[in-house]
Amino acid sequence: MSRREMTVAHVREPPGADHVEVMFYESARFYRLPRARPSFEVSLRLLKEAAAVGRPLTITLAPAESDVIEEVGPAPAPAPSPADGPGRPL
């Protein structure tokens, strides 16, 4: 499996298809989220919400060369900048 932080450009639901197509800014490929996945509804909601606000997500593909999305989750929080220094609010 391969995990990547990616930003959703567009989510397309082809009529009658057994999957949803997802495009990311970081890749020219079209990725597929199968409707048969147990977490399909949650993953689709996360993808649509992230697309609306431009928030990156952690996308898991299996195998790495695949176009099939296995898991969708929040991206890790950015590390504080050294410029923030100790005791300064984030």
Q: What is the pLDDT of residue 78?
A: 73
DSSP code per residue over 17-84: -SEEEEEETT-SSEEEEETTSTTHHHHHHHHHHHHHHT-EEEEEESSTT--BEEEEEEPPPPPPPGGG
* This prediction's pTM: 0.83
Q: What is the pLDDT of residue 62?
A: 81
Task: Pick out the chain residues at pLDDT < 70.
Answer: 79, 81-90
Q: What is the pLDDT of residue 87?
A: 59
Q: What is the pLDDT of residue 84?
A: 60
